[in-house]
Structure 1
Amino acid sequence: MVPAKLTQERILFACLDWGSGHVARSISLLKQLADQGNELVICCTEKQQSIFTSYGIPAKYILSGGFQFRFKGDGNFTSEMRRNALRFSHWIRREQKQTERLVSEHLISLVLSDHCYGFHSNKVPSIFITHQVSLPPKAGWIAQCIHRKWMNRFQEIWIMDKAEKRLAGKLSESNKKSNYIGFYSRFQDQEITVVPHKIVGIVSGPEPYSEQFFHWIIEKYGAENLVLISPRVYAEVPENIKIITDWKLADAEIASSETIVSRNGYSTLMDLEFLKKKAILIPTPGQLEQEYLAALPLGK
């Protein structure tokens, strides 16, 4: 099963509320599914709903609080995830019960989960969407085993990558349950231009890492022709710096930039496949996936 083959389904969808990457890459997928005659029921946070509706995605929206990761921002993601482990396990069990209830209440025929481990059903086919069939090598074998155990609860895995050009390297090596579905980006149908010397800085990721990156970009590129895209304004900035918090306005700024300064999350790498921009990519400190992607030729 692949997205292009889906028609006349009643689809229940959710994506991880960690930063903005999972929401960003879901936009074009959801548009495709809606255009093919599928009916969408989206379980999401209020913030995610506001983003999806701004792109005109037709769906019935069900608000959910989402899982709020708590990070200290010390750059040790292994310890950060351990601190969240118990809360995360409780959330997965709660999420699975909620999914079963929603499947029954809304007569769902298919469940799609962008990296929400508990968002699956025993009543209808459930598909896990990811670029990480395997975690980065430094994650350790215990984390790998848990990751695979949770993925195996799904009937199928959709890998947002291409077999012939894997942006995720070894992370996206397929297994017997998986299908490559290609790259997804909201920029794939946009007209791309270049304003000479224009730099766009994109602040993303979980707190407090996003706030740290906000200040780093201003310190490094504040004297340039800089447009800063951020989920919020963390501090006063020089008058010459333009701040954008609206997603649709941000898209126009990104599409016209000459250079992008960003974290090197996987959704950003897919966006760059369509944008063809110069990019300065800075991994989130200690985040093993981004550090792994930064070391790949295509991730630089």
Structure 2
Amino acid sequence: MPMKPCHRRRILVAPLDWGLGHATRCIPVIEELRIRGCDIFLGGEGPVVEMVRSEFPTLRVLPLVNYNISYTARAAFLGLKFPFFVARVFLRSATEHRQIEQLITDYKIDAIISDQRFGCYSQMVPCAYISHQLSVKMPSGFGAVEQLVRRGLYHAADRYTQLWIPDWPGEDNLTGELSRKYPLPPNHRFIGLLSRFIPQKNNDKKQDIDLLVMLSGPEPQRTLLERRIRAQLEHFDGRAVVLLGRPEERETVKGSIEYIPHAPTETIADLLARAKAVVCRGGYSTIMELVSLGKKAVLIPTPGQTEQQYLARYLCTKGYFAHQSQKGFNLSHALAALSKISGPPTPPPHRNTLKDAIEELTA
């Protein structure tokens, strides 16, 4: 079927600033918009926007308020910080909404695609909200709060024309209870996985990297995990590559261990194809990319991020991935566990794709 052009429609894509995963999963969205000939604007600022612009350097950036959320170094304090977290999100999303209304007028925006930014909606133009998390996993004893947050998430999604869930439907999907514990809002659609990588493209590469470590996620937990990884790599007998997730640092080599601050999509795809073993965070964007490449990995959830902890346990029980906690991480045990799993599934074919969703939004 011939591709329907969007006739130079102006589309604002706005990824959340809570981690680079929101940037990576916007990359296939932007690529599809480019194929359709849309004029694309990027909303936000900071590392997430910088990462997207490293792939698309000509994109024009329209500043949006940053949420500036960080995760406590001690997961036990999550419950105590939660009310302040909610208050900050509420205030920032209200500011963001006012900014969006002005940007639509100033730049004649025709549609908006928001990756979990709560305030990027408007009655003036069609708006899509990307989220895989329609319910949350709170610590034990916070059941009432969990229900309250779920209602808030549904309320946020209802403000948008469409809710795009980056997964496939059914009992065997990747997000599990995060997307199917409760009846979904009527404006939802499953759009398949959002991955920068082309499936099966590099499977014939020679595997000459014994271990690939991909660090990501919010501070200070990213740095705490990096310290653990560096300490254990001092005793690692093999070639390892560590992607630090810190574009501002310099590349260094220590013996057979290479530390790379940041890498473009093609380089990461090449490293994944060449790696015999992968250790990484358990963020959903990372999981989608691993599944798209059929790559086994050890997932280390970020402490305090109950969503990642749930996904790691859920996908481990299915034999798709292995997982360890950050506090108890042991590299030799992790690699042993990796050898015992079957690996990620092949995504099933379905009709409700990203292309279909974008065509409808930009019609």
Provide the TM-score with structure 2 as the length reference: 0.75
| Equivalent position SS for 1:184 | coil
CA distance in structure 1 between the aligned counterparts of 2:218 and 2:90, rounded to whole angstroms: 19
Distance 1:27 1:104, change over 3 A: same
Q: Distance in 2 between matches of 1:78 and 1:6?
A: 48
Residues 1:169 and 2:169 are matched in the alignment: no
Residue 199 in 1 paired to residue 205 in 2?
no
Q: Give runs of aligned pairs for residues 37-116 of structure 1, distance below 5 A.
A: 37-56=37-56, 58-64=58-64, 66-76=66-76, 77-116=78-117
Q: CA deviation at 1:105?
A: 0.9
Cα distance change, pair 141–253 in 1 and its aligned pair in 2 (3 A): same
Greater Cα shift, 54-63 or 10-19 = 54-63
Letter in 2 for 1:259: A
SS in 1 for 2:14: strand
CA–CA separation in structure 2 for the residues paired with 1:272 and 1:112: 24
Equivalent-residue separation in structure 2 for 1:57 and 1:176 (angstroms): 36
Which 5+ residue runs of structure 1 have no aligned equivalent?
none
Alpha-carbon distance change, 197 to 70 in structure 1, aligned in 2, over 3 angstroms? closer
Distance 1:5 1:171 in 2: 33
1: CA distance between counterparts of 2:312 and 2:253? 29
| Counterpart in the other structure of 2:290 | 272
Amino acid at match of 1:118: G
Displacement after TM superposition at 1:194 (Å)? 4.4
Moved more, 33-42 or 128-137: 128-137
Shift of 1:241: 1.9
Query: In structure 1, what is the equivalent of residue 331 of structure 2?
Result: none
Shift of 1:70: 3.3
Alpha carbons of 1:94 and 1:240: their partners in 2 closer, same or farther (altered >3 Å)? same
Which residue number corresponds to residue 229 of structure 1?
Answer: 243
Deviation at 1:231, TM superposition (A): 2.5
Q: Offset at 1:197?
A: 5.0
Letter in 1 for 2:129: F
Residue equivalent to 1:219 = 231
| Separation in 1, partners of 2:263, 2:103 | 29
| Cα distance in structure 1, aligned partners of 2:107 and 2:117 | 19
Report the counterpart of residue 356 of structure 2 in structure 1.
Answer: none
Partner residue, 1:127: 128
Instruction: After TM superposition, give the deviation of residue 206 of structure 1 in Å.
Output: 0.7
Structure 2: how far apart are the matches of 1:134 and 1:66? 23
Q: 1:290–1:55: structure 2 CA closer, same or farther, 3 Å change rule? A: same
Greater displacement, 104-113 / 140-149: 140-149
Q: Tell me, what secondary structure is at the counterpart of 2:108?
A: coil
Find the aligned partners of 1:286 and 1:46 in 2 and give their Cα distance: 23
Residues of 2 paired with 1:156 and 1:82: CA distance? 28
In the other structure, the counterpart of 2:193 is 183
Task: Please tell me whether the aligned partners of residues 14 and 43 of structure 2 are also in contact (alpha carbons under 8 angstroms).
Answer: yes
SS in 2 for 1:140: helix
SS state at 2:117 partner: coil
Unmatched runs of 5 consecutive residues or more in structure 2: 140-144, 323-363
Tell me, in whole angstroms, the C-alpha distance in 1 between the residues paired with 2:321 and 2:177.
13
Distance 1:54 1:255, change over 3 A: farther
What amino acid maps onto 1:159 in structure 2?
Answer: I
Q: Between 77-86 and 22-31, report the one with greater CA deviation.
A: 77-86
CA contact under 8 A between 1:227 and 1:241: conserved in structure 2?
A: yes
Larger radius of gyration: 2
CA distance 1:110–1:75, shift in 2 (3 Å): same
When structure 1 is superposed on structure 2, of 68-77 and 91-100 the one drifting more is 68-77
For the 8 Å contact 1:46–1:64, the answer to whether it is kept is no
Question: Which digits, 9 at most, give the CA deviation of each residue in 1:96-145, with x for residues without a partner?
Answer: 00000111111111111000001111211111101112223656112112
Rate the CA distance shift 1:181–1:265 in 2: closer, same or farther, 3 A.
same
Secondary structure of the residue aligned to 2:130 is strand
SS of 1:295's partner is helix
Cα offset for 1:6?
A: 7.3
Quote how far apart the aligned CAs of 1:288 are.
Answer: 1.0
More moved, 156-165 vs 220-229? 220-229
Displacement of 1:37 in angstroms is: 1.8
Q: Secondary structure at the match of 1:242?
A: strand
Q: 1:187 to 1:57 in 2, by over 3 A?
A: farther
1:154 aligns with 2:166: no
CA distance in 1, matches of 2:208, 2:133: 36
Query: How well do the aligned residues superpose, as a CA RMSD in angstroms?
Result: 2.4
